[in-house]
Amino acid sequence: MIRPVRQTLPILLLLVMLGLAIAGGRDKIPTFDDSPVDRFGPLGPGEVAILFGGDTNLGGSTPVKAKFKQEGHDWMSRKMAATIESADAVAFVANLEVPITKERRKGKGVGNWSYNMSPKMVDGLTAAGITHVGLANNHMLDRSRKGMLDTFQHLEKAKIPYTGAGRNLAHARKPLIIDAGGTRVAIVAGMETFKQKVDADWGATDDRSGVLFFDEASIPASIAAAKAEADLVVAFPHWGRNYQHRLKGTQQGMAKWLVQAGVDAIVGHHNHAAQGYWARDGVPVLWSLGNLFFGTQGRFGHDKMQPGYGLLARMVIKDKAIDRIELMPMRINNRLQDYQPRPMERTEADAVLIGLARRYAPKNVRVEARDAGVPVENPYFSIDERGVGVFRAAKPKAKAKQPGGPKGH
């Protein structure tokens, strides 16, 4: 079994974590506990799980590539291997935020940072346990359409299904279909309509390859196509603003359209760092998982952002419904973790989970922490005995009808 290597973070990092946890309330600071939060609990009878991870790029800088060559393709994911295995999931879905290609020429509409990943590193995806990927993101055409088409070929050769980009619109819209113990789960990846990418014609059309954009016009058809093939539909949007806690209005709007279209859950990414989670009209929304395995240093600590953590999300399905989503925080700041994300100790994990829950909870729901950092259970969020966050989206209750007729005067 792979055990996480403990790493002492700067005092400032711990203070920021604890500050997130107690912000907005007068609860006691959680008791210090250095036991690792590194295992999901066993699934119950009739339960099946799908694991979700965030932004993934096994390319990156020359030292990172050299380390892969020296240590093996499982080097970056090694500290999380036992945690991923403990999820006991039928599938592990991640946002692949890099084209797999030898092409070096940049495409149109590329920003300040652009990437490509060696075809040899596809083995790194499978070594990490990743079985399915979303491709709707703002780096998929970093090496032009040729780089994206190369990506399709390499993933198909490795038998890694993908969604969110394709050789035409119908292909880009084609969902992942995962059999979760007899429940068919469709996962559809789509990207916010970032102006730079729209202007550069990154979007797939009936006769052009590209990514799938999510907007008010396209979402109903994309979700309807997925619903026709599955019992449950999970949207996997690439949205928001990098390294920011605050939600963009476009995220709020897109979540509204996705819920109206009938999705059963929303699992977001792009931010490179974890945003929070809560329900919208009874549908669970994870705004951003943050990075999973990413081969650049990142810009954590800037723009009042947290020092660098992400989330693994285990979606537990039972009786053809989403019973809960379990959240495992992980350290992802490569300046501190040397490109090997790893689990947290209990005190830090409590602070992250409670801080994120409080930041995004409705104003009428209070997440109160006990001394041990475990929140008082409510219909939405708690922390289990292993230190794993447990998030449920309670369906809004219909108002009870008043007995009898109208009152007399």
Average pLDDT of the segment spanning 191-199: 96
Asked if 179 and 90 touch (Cβ cutoff 8 Å), the reply is yes
For residues 125 and 96, the answer to whether their CB atoms sit within 8 Å is yes
Q: For residue 407, is pLDDT > 70?
A: no
What single DSSP character describes residue 36? E
Band the pLDDT of 115: cuts 50, 70, 90: confident
pLDDT in tens, 231-268: 999 999 999 988 777 888 999 999 999 999 999 999 99
What pLDDT score does 79 carry?
95
Task: List pLDDT tens digits, range 1-10.
Answer: 333 333 444 4
- Cα separation, 240 vs 49, whole angstroms: 27
Among 136-150, 279-293, 351-365, the range scoring the smallest mean pLDDT is: 351-365
The DSSP annotation for 330-398 comes to: EE--HHHHTT--EEEEHHHHHHHHHHHHHHHS-TT----B-TTSPBPP-SSEEE-TTS-EEE--PPPPP
Amino acid at 302: H
User: Whole-angstrom Cα distance, residue 352 to residue 355?
Assistant: 5
pLDDT, tens digit, 9 for 90 and up, residues 172-181:
999 999 999 9
Q: Give 125-167 pLDDT, tens digit per residue.
A: 999 999 999 999 999 999 999 999 999 999 999 999 999 999 9
**Mean pLDDT of the region 362-372:** 73
Q: What are the structural domains, with CATH classification, of the chain?
A: 11-391 (3.60.21.10)
- Report pTM: 0.87
Q: Regarding predicted confidence, which is higher, 355 or 206?
A: 206
Mean pLDDT of the chain: 86
* pLDDT tens-digit readout, 22-60: 343 333 434 446 789 999 999 999 999 999 999 999 987
Taking the C-alpha atoms of residue 204 and residue 210, their distance in angstroms, rounded to an integer, is 4
